Amino acid sequence: MDLAAVTQPDPVITLDGGLVLRAYDPEADLPEFFRVIEESLAHLRPWMPWVADHSLARTRDFLAGRAALWASGEERSYAIVLDGAVVGSCGLARYDDTPGDTLEIGYWLHPAATGRGLATRAAGALAEQAFRLPGIERVEIIHDAANTASAAVPARLGFLPVPERRPAEVMAPAQTGELQVWHLPRSRTAPGGDAK
């Protein structure tokens, strides 16, 4: 494959052990994705500000907007699928305050899917995809400073913690108001994109 010609990440990423990351199908995924969020509300509410406004209509709108955001390069969202069942969500994003050579990785899992390395494997696969894109020199993972479960993912993947913490603009109930930023520069990845 000519990596110079790659302008979008793969829409389907197949990993070992029945783990697949795939772009959303807005209509087909709505019932299952909404159910997974509903079952995860207590788990997500402390850390995810968007949970406060969760509804079927908002889930439908989220899924409906994925294709346009993917095409623009602003956000590439994936369902995390294990053995054929949706167990969470992850993605690559560039927000207004994200430098042009950087993409941010985000992720969450259904509580029954945690503790099995799925978020780490998903984030690692997304980092590899990010470094295949032209002009991307760094990927970041950002989480509340108190969210130790989220912190374990970048630490396992060789991301470097940024010493200065950022203030959070939007807060969820358990958040401290300080965001921990981790970054992985291209220079810390092996030729195939894997973290050193």
Task: Provide the pLDDT for residue 4.
Answer: 43
CATH number for the domain whose boundaries are 3-188: 3.40.630.30
Taking the alpha carbons at both ends of the chain, their separation in whole angstroms is: 23
Task: Provide the pLDDT for residue 148.
Answer: 93
Q: Which residues contact 124 (CB under 8 A, 6 or more apart)?
A: 157, 194, 195
Reduce the DSSP state of residue 136 to 3 states and report it: coil
Tell me the pTM: 0.90
Q: Which residues of the chain have pLDDT under 50?
A: 1-5, 190-193, 196
Whose tokens are 């032209």? That residue is 134
